[in-house]
Amino acid sequence: MKFSVFQLSRKGGRSNNQDRMGYSFNRESAFFAVADGMGGHPEGEVAAQIALQSSSNLFQKRPLRNQTEATHFLEAALLYAHREILRYANNKGMPVGPRTTFVACTIVDGWLTTIHCGDSRLYLIRNGVLWSRTRDHSYAEQPHLLSPQAREKDINRNVLFTCLGSPVDPLFSVSEAIELQEGDKILLCSDGLWGPVTDEEIVDELWEQPIAKSSNILVDLALRRAGIHSDNVTVLTVSWDHQSDRLDDPTTIFTHTLTEGVYASTITDATKLIPTDEMNEMSLSSIEASIAAINASIKKANNSN
């Protein structure tokens, strides 16, 4: 695989940055994720960090061989992250636990599969056109979920109706696998970007500029428009350059240079938000159950074919 990747996160007008982002990859597959810790709940940045660390740990423990396995992995990874956030809150005796949105994708054999919960988004841009975009789990984006009675009330349609870390099981959406084409661009971002910046502006900027330059321009634009009350703004941008031979671009990754079974990742415990022993316990205590769930789902899918 060959792809270019660039990530950027800015605090904006908030007192701290509750967004988290990162990616992991091996020779055959890659995993990208953004989580936006939810304001109004304690330790949103911890929920976001747990979501990234737990899902990345699962990716590194369970090799992906095709897009069918990617679907089962993404579902298991999201639910695993949700359970680990709940467990963290329970261990801390928190009456109200931390919560986060989550958007992630895998690339396996040139096929893209996505998952999301909440309003962190993924955009796929092809030939200068918005090929697909995730739909937020809000009534503004999914009004068909409103009852006739609720439609008559003056409600805030931008309020999310699901997230990771809530007391009830999260709702989530998984895409069909999409075969990538040379030059496709993928953007994962928090709502701090798409709130002040239109979809049309995102598409035009990403398509016309290299991803490092366009990502910086878009983040600066979002911060400038939102002003002193700007939300955290986070972007993770990927360009599918499978046929590229550019060696001078620092954003380009050639996965064939990795040894079989070796993973590279930008998702670490660098923030020190979660004690190392607690994170190790998370990785070891329930990751095998998540892997077993993936394997069982794949076996069931194969038997039904």
Ordered per-residue pLDDT tens for the chain, 305 residues: 899 999 999 999 999 999 999 999 999 999 999 999 998 778 999 999 999 999 999 999 988 988 889 999 999 999 999 999 999 999 999 999 999 999 999 999 999 999 999 999 999 999 999 999 999 998 777 766 655 555 555 556 568 889 999 999 999 999 999 999 999 999 999 999 999 999 999 999 999 999 999 999 999 999 999 999 999 999 999 999 877 666 567 778 888 778 888 899 998 654 445 554 555 555 555 677 777 777 887 777 777 76
The reported pTM is 0.89
| Location of structure tokens 């904006």 | 12
Query: 3-state class of 176 per DSSP?
Result: coil
H-helix segments, 180-275? 191-194, 199-208, 211-226
Asked if residues 297 and 76 have their Cβ atoms less than 8 Å apart, the reply is yes
In angstroms, the CA 281 to CA 192 distance is: 32
CATH number, domain at 91?
3.60.40.10
What confidence score (pLDDT) does residue 62 get?
87
Q: By residue range, what is the domain housing residue 155?
A: 2-304
Asked if residues 240 and 126 have their Cβ atoms less than 8 Å apart, the reply is no
What confidence score (pLDDT) does residue 116 get?
98
DSSP 90: H
CA 146 to chain centroid? 26
In angstroms, the CA 151 to CA 157 distance is: 10
CA 110 to chain centroid? 18
| Location of structure tokens 């993936």 | 294
Query: 3-state class of 93 per DSSP?
Result: coil
Percent of residues in the chain assigned helix, strand, coil, to nearest 5: 40, 25, 35
DSSP 230: P
Domain count, the chain: 1
In angstroms, the CA 265 to CA 48 distance is: 16
> What is the identity of the amino acid at 286?
S
In angstroms, the CA 101 to CA 121 distance is: 10
DSSP 143: G
List Cα–Cα distances, 249 to 6, 218, 256, in angstroms: 11, 20, 16
